[in-house]
Structure 1
Amino acid sequence: MHLKSLSVRGFKSFASVTMFEFEPGLNAIVGPNGSGKSNVVDALAWVLGAQGASALRGGSMKDVIFAGGSGRTALGRARVELVIDNTDGSLALPYTEISLARTMFSAGGSDYEINGKPARLSDVQDFLSDAGLGRELHSLVGQGQLDKILHGLAADRRELIEEAAGLVKYRKRQSRTATRLEAMKGNLDRLEDVASELRQQLEGRREQAEAARSASAVAARVRSAKKELLVLDAQQLERKREEGTVASERTGVLQKEAHLKRESLTQRLETLAVREKAKTAERDSVRELLTRAESVQHRAQTVELIASERLKAEKSSSAADDGERVEKAQAAWMSEKREAQRIEQALNNAQKAVEVARDNAEDAEHTVTEAIENLEHIERSQIIYREEAARLTGELALARAAHDRAEVECASRRGELKDFTDNAAGSEKEIAAARHAVTELKQRVEAGVKAEASARTKRVGAALAEQNSLQQSHQAEVEVESLLARRETLKAAMSYDFAQPAMRDAIAVARSDGAEEVASLLTVKKGWEKAVGIALGQLASALIGKDGKEPEQAVSALFNPHHNAETKLDAQAELYAEPGVYRFTDLVEAPEPLQQLLLISLGNLAFCDNDAQARRLINRYPQARLVSQEATARTSSSVFYPADGAGAVELHSQLAAVTKELREAQIAYRTAQQSSADAQSAHSEATAEEQSIARTLGADRPALAKASTELAALQARAETTGAETSRLSERAQRAVNLLEETDTKLQAAIDALDACFAQKPLDQREKLTRVLMQARADATETSRRLILAQSEHAHLVELQESAEARVAQAKTALEAVQRAQEHAQKREEEGHLKRARAVKAQKSAKALLAALADSLGELDQQHEACQQAVLRLREEIAGVRQELDGAQKSVTAALTLKAEAAATHARLEARWEALESRAFDELGQGLKDVLAAAHQGTSDEADSTEGSVSREQLEQDLATAEKELKRLGVVNPLALEEFEALKQRHDYLQEQIRDLKNSRSDLLAVMKDISKHIEKSFEQTFTQVQKQFEQIFAELFPGGVGQLVFADPTDPQNSGVDLQVRPAGKKVSRLSLLSGGERSLASLALLLAIFMTKPAPFYVLDEVEAALDDRNLGRLLGVLERLREISQLIMVTHHQRTMSSADTLYGISMREGVSTVISQRGADVTAAVTEGADKNDG
């Protein structure tokens, strides 16, 4: 992985788009001072997330935007894009190229992009950490950073190594985690305090919760009893409502049937009226035909008469006959005239009869109409009365229900006022008693708090004492166990396991006889144990009897091989007189027999303080044997140095000391155990005392809280007694006013109903019906008479017309006879023809009269039949009218029943509304919900119950429960919920505290593991860096020595790193005494050691070799040659040798404040130089 390209636009001096294409290896950036070379390094640092303006050699971040030049104006933004080649897959991303871009706007703020997608700074930093560059960008070494590394803090140099090892991010995360854990510890402490307070509150709420639970159970019984009573009343009322509904439906059916019957009879009456009208029209038509037929008959008779007369006239040829005919014709004319007058007189009489009949018919019709109107008025009055009565009955039911509710409300308000007044009367005494109880409880609680604090202090002290005693006991036990183990070790060291088996048996026998080792019987002065042991040699391990005699020879010979070769040398008094020289008896105390034996065995032995004194004394006293306190034995011919192990004397001395210490430790252990037992007993007693006080205090605190609450309630009630009394009085007065108002409305409804009953119309329907029937009968008779009179009048009119015609005919006949007489002669001539015509006319008239006689008979019968049919229809109409009156009565009765049913329904609805109000007031539920729940419960328990509970039993249970609830007194209904809520909160807090502690322990364990990992990784990295530093320093400073050391060797895990360098031929101990080039090389040695140990993908070095001469530059380039093989290098340089070693050259120049770039591959430059040289040679 390496940098592939860098695109800069508007960044510092790069106004236009400038592209840098880097190659793996060494890339050199060259140019004159001030041309903008370091701006390339700044661009790399900026695009990789640099934040501080000082890191970019600016005063603010806006300074990175091109500020303009002499030929270019300032730009509004700066953008840098870096492309990284990931062909080798070093980064676990599915891209061969990764683009990082950053844009800065003049308005402020910057945007990051990764592969063209918006990103955050943290995303860029994580990317850099994954790439091995680190957040601090240690791979970018700018100008002046070398001296900072050298003269900086040791902690900064350690951070460089950690950053290269990739440990900085873990340290920072660990630091943040530690800070959060510390904050978490504070929160945990606060949570524990809150939990402790909740426990105290729980104790105070427990008794209140129990009281509330009991009151809740009793209240549930009261509610259940009220609910069951309400259900019973509702079910009973519902049955009545259902019965009323059935009766109302039945009444509706009857009303509907009556209406249908009335409508049917009305339709039938209308049909009969139509038929009667049709029959009457038919009768009138027949009468008209009959009249016409009679007129034709009369005309035919006249024609016959005229023809007969003409025939008679024709038969008489004389004048006498003509005179006789004239007389007959005149007599006939006078007869017809008289008949006409008679008919006219009869017609006048008939006209008067018709007028009288018409007047009578009109009067009858008027009477019928008046009777119908009177009957309809009575029926309407009855309907209005019934409807009004039903309405007033409903209003009366509503008023009575409202009055009942008002009575209940008034009684309730008066009871509340009376109870409150009674309670207020004794409130002062209750307040005084409550105040006294609160004072007493407060004193008890204060005393309990003090006692609890004292007991807690005592318990804590006892606990500390117990802990200390347990710790002392444990330490004493450990000391005893240690001394026992040490004693056993010493005993094992003094055993004779190295002896032969036969010798071990002899030793055992000697020990059984009471023999002891010599060393065990000696008391040596402290500090001389080793010297005495050297002096005694194996004699110290020899066995000796209790009487000072040796045991068996075989055993003693083993430990004293020189026993038979005693040297009898006289002690030199001068030697013992020397200062610092001691006799054996001066240093060793032993039983007398043993001491004599040892003196004989040791001979001329002396002890001195040190080896130097022994050397001096042995020269003066060559026959003496001297042993120094350092346990060096000297003779004139030999020197014996002490062995590494301890001798028998030392072992026995140590064993004696250990035995003594063991006895003292055992005594101290038993004392510590007793002290621990006493401390445990004292702790238990203090704990029991504290718990007892806490229980008492836990009981007193809720009692105090309860008493304080009651006192506050009493005081508040006392303070609001006047206002509450006024409020209750006002409510009671409103209830009284409402009762009076409802009483007034009830009385008004009763009066209105009584007035309605008093104004009940008389039931004259039967009388009016009879009058109507009689009027209708009279109207029918008068109509019949009118019709008969009209028929007679019409008949007479027709007769009059016929008579007038006959008079005219008779007159005509007379005139004809007279003319005939005058023209007799002429008639005689025409006689024969006329007689023939007269005979013919006479025959026709006779035939017509015969036909008319039959037709007149038929018409007369038909007229009589129509008249009878009309009479029958009118009688049937009268019967239908009577049935219609009966149907009207049925409708009226049905309306009455319906009104009564409506009144009953209104009363039941008023009672139902009262039950609904009662359900809401007592149960807080709708009546339908209560009944549905009761129905569901009844269906669920139908199999397990034998019968329902009686109302008396329910009322008795309700009274008992209400008495019990009253006996419980005032309770806090929210205490149970508060207790449960507090308990749930306490349990939740305890669970959260446990989770937090477990999480904290887990995090601490993880942090410990991470710390171990960091320490191990840093140790490995530091070792590698130190090795690389020594190699690179030796290469940069031939013959010089450099190493990395911890500033605090006692704490290598947290200590900073210091440099210890010494160039060849110099003895300097301070880095500040080095020259500038040496300081640069020393800093570069450290950086290159870090780079070589944990190589990054690329490094940017800005004029780091500026202070080096050509020789040191060559050494540096040699090291960089190795680094360029594993990492990409980008160097800003002025040195020709660095340029010649580069793979790619970038030349930067500036013109008018704008930097431009010229790039060239190193191979191309070399080829061009070579080609130019060849040409010059040629």
Structure 2
Amino acid sequence: MRLKNLTIKGFKSFADETVIHFNESITGIVGPNGSGKSNIVDAIRWVLGEQKGRELRLEQMSDVIFNGTKRRKEAPMAQVVLNFENTKNLLPTEYQNIEIARLLYRSGDSEYRLNGVACRLKDITGLFLDTGVGSDSYAIIALNMVEDLLSNKESARRKMFEQAAGISKYKARKRESLNKLKATKEDLARIEDLLFEINNNLQELEKQAKRTKRFNELKEKYKSFGVFVQYLTAKTLQEKLEEIESSIQGELIRITEEDASINLTEAQIEASKKSHLDQEKHLSEFQKKVNEVLDVIRSLESTIQITEQKQTMQQHQLEMLEQSIGQTKLKLSELTADSEKLMRELETSKLDFLSAELSLKQVEETYLSKQEEFNKIKSGVDQFQQEKHRMETGIFDLEKSQAIFENQIENLKSDNFRCADEIQSRVDELKLVNVQGEELAGRLSSLDVEINTLQSEETNRVSAYKDVQHQIESISDKYSSVNRLKDARTNEYELLKSMIDKMEGFPESIKFLNQNWRKDIPILSDLIYTDEKYRAAIELYLENYLNFYVVHTEDDAIKAIRLLFNHSKGKANFFILDKFRNSQSTPKPIVGCTPALSFIEVSDKYAPLFNELLQNVYVLEQEQHLEDINRFPDEISVISLTGSILKAHKMLSGGSVGLFEGKKLGRKKNLEKLEIEINKLDEESIELSRKLSELKDKLRAFELQDQSAQLEILRTRQTELLQQLTHTQTRKQHLLDLENELKTRIQANEVKLIEFASRLQTGQQDIAVARDQLSLLSGSLSSSDDEFNRISQELSEVSNLFNQTKIELLKWENRYNNILKDSKAKSDQHLEAENFIRNEQQKVDELKNSITQLIVENESAKQILVEKLAFRKTMDSDLSDLERSYYETRNLITEMESQVRLHQKNLHELQSKVNAIRDQKAEWRFKLQSAIEKARIEFHTELDQYKPEESGEEADLEQLQEKANYYKTRIENYGEVNPLALEAYEEMKSRMDKIQEQKQDILKAQDSLLETIQEIETTATAGFMQAFNQVRVHFQAVFRSLFTDDDDCDLVLEDELDPLECDIDIVAKPKGKRPKSISQLSGGEKTLTAIALLFSLYLLKPAPFCIFDEVDAPLDDINIEKFNTIIRKFSRDSQFILITHNKLTMADVDVLYGVYMEEPGISSVTAVDFRKYSHEIELEEMAN
């Protein structure tokens, strides 16, 4: 058998479907720590049926399902599939390829499959039994299991030896047989005890059965006479019941007639109520329409008010805009005048500039002529002339600079004057803007106060409106509840009054005396009153006295008795008050009870009577004390609170409580209390109705005080004022910024003026110095001829004139440019003013259009409002008609309900009469039922099925009763009899016979189990010893192959007399060492020892595949070579799967699977076939 492949999906870190093929003899699995290598081993253990989470490194089994990562969702299930190839028919199945699978879902459902068919875990473990393959077999070894094997933890060695020896099935069968044997012995012991007990009881039952047989013969004779007596009695009672039933049917016909009247009237009431409900619905809908019209009217009024306020506000805005336009137009006219003036100055300046330019050209021509003449003469005094020319040029430059500075000073002063004028203009405009801003701020502040006040009032109104609504709802519910309670109490009052007036429930004698005797003499039941909770209890005790008259003297009683006697009206009972004058009662406290006198209300005049009647009478506080009623002394009377039981003077009575019990007591007093309660309810109803009306009026007043529309108008006005104020503040800030800019410009001009004045003064000083130097130079040239001097003089004069003319030209040019600049500035201001006027005029036009639109909308709204007001008046009239019809229907329903109550009263009277007849019928029926029940219970005979002998129909009932009593007396004096003795005797005898048979069967089963256990013990011991001896030889050979031939090792049984249960010791003594136990060996030596033992087992019974999980970790390189050699040797018969970190082991495998995490938390595998590589060449190249 070979392992072909392993498929993992959703198991631990293997989220995706991963297939690992095991086609080669040695397969290696490598990867970094935490990559999921050991999860492959866990998957194989798990699919083979591992049930312990600890063995799979889990807290709970559901943890095997992939739990998800940051990028991946959790898997819905874990699935592992192992494929085997049954090459050597090692598995007991006809299939060549075997596939086992295990699935676990998140719901907790688990599933095993064998070749795709669902199966049990038991089927899989049974398939691999004694093959060396299993979740805990020696085929799968981890590093920690090596230590467990060496330390023999949980008898690990023995388990491996049993698996290799193939005796696991024998030990399992032995355990099953021992458990069965134990159970068999326990069953045998129980049967012995049971037989002993049954035998003792059987002898006693035999005696009882004979006595019972004689007793049954007497019972049969008693039954014969007794049944016939009950038959004749029942026949007589049945005839009486038929007469009563005929009377009841007559009264029931009258009840049916009254009930039909009630049903007819109620049907009419229901129809009227339906009509009333429709009217109410129609009224509600119409009221809703009226409210909708009111809402429209309020909306229109609000719209008109808002429109008028918008119109007023926009008119005010229009006036302000027109005022602003007027001011801007005035300023525009000023700018126009200034511009015209500047244009005139510009023309004049231009003419002056052209004139100066013409003069300059003339002077320049003269200058050039004189210069040419001078040049002809100057050759002699060229050096002096050059110097003089340089100085004259310098003086000209200085004078030119002076002229420029003077012109700039003049321009700066002009600019300052213009800025000052502009600042004054902006200041005036700013004052106007400030006034507008203050006015808007004041209006906005007043509006804020008004809005806050109105908002507070509206909030208070809404809160009060809701409070009143809640009060109306609460009082309406209370009003309805009070009216319902008043109707119920009124009906109860009328019914009770009718019963009192007609003396219902009283005998004819009492009714007669009530009509024909003194009206001032009360009946006992009318003198006493108690809370409804205690009425049933008190009435139960006083039941026999409730119809007694209470008179003052015996003469009063005698007069009434004579009256009854003379008119043949029956009898009556009387209490004589004079006889009770000295009666007093002080009840003693008793735990769990309360004196009855403490519950009653009675006049002082009659208190002695009730002290006598209720002396030593107590009421149980709780029903559960009924079980302890016998603990009370006989001299007191005890009543349960519900009236279900009464104990008095050695007498006990009780049972179920009737529906009308407790209703006779204190009728008149109850009637008075009902009347008082009805009056109070009536007053409360009137008061609630008054409050309800007041609250509704208050609610309507709150609705009329609705100021939400006004509040919305004010908020709209507030928004518009805020917009205007924002615009004003923006304009103000713009003016302030412009003013600051102009002031800054003036300050900069003043600084420049100071600077230019200083430069002008310095230039004048430089010119004076230059002229002095020029005069000295001219003096030096005095020796030159007169002609040169004359020419020079003329040239100098012409040069001065040319310079002055040029300077004058520059002045006129600067003046012209300044005027042109001023003109452009005025033109810009003019354009700005025109744009402002144009924009403001556009706003004026828009406002005028808006005002016109508002006027049109307002007129339209007013017209609609008039129409709606007229429509509302019509609707109010229709609403009044609907309300009138609604209340008329309501009064009609009230009248019909009164008729129903009258019919119900008559119906109740008839029902009371029928109930009285039915009570009489019930009494006869009870007697009849008693006869039937006696026949059924005592004689086990159904009278309706009983057929007496024809001759017995005329028998005397008294004679039959005497005979029945005779046999009954004999039966009563017979003594105790076990009625079940006959059946019990036969049943127990039969049971004893069956138990004896069971005992024999158990003894046979016990002998069979003992034989089976002995056979299993012999077979298993022989198999184990044979396997142990072979493994021992193999262990010594493998151990020495891993160490040296001189090393000593052995396997020893601790108890050779009990080889199947004793532990196995390992003796390992490498050369040169004498350890007392293998725990003293080094880690590598212990690992090699364990490996030697494992391979010894493989030699005995090779496993189809072996998995070593990092078993080679403690081994050094030399031992790794040994380990790899033995793996290679055994790989001819078994497949090996090695999980390792050791490079030498990696190099020695056929195929290497690398486990890695391509993304965090997700394990993947990749394969490399090492047989295609030459490891030695690769290692040499790496070394070089």
Instruction: Normalising by structure 1, report the TM-score.
Output: 0.36
Instruction: Normalising by structure 2, report the TM-score.
Output: 0.36
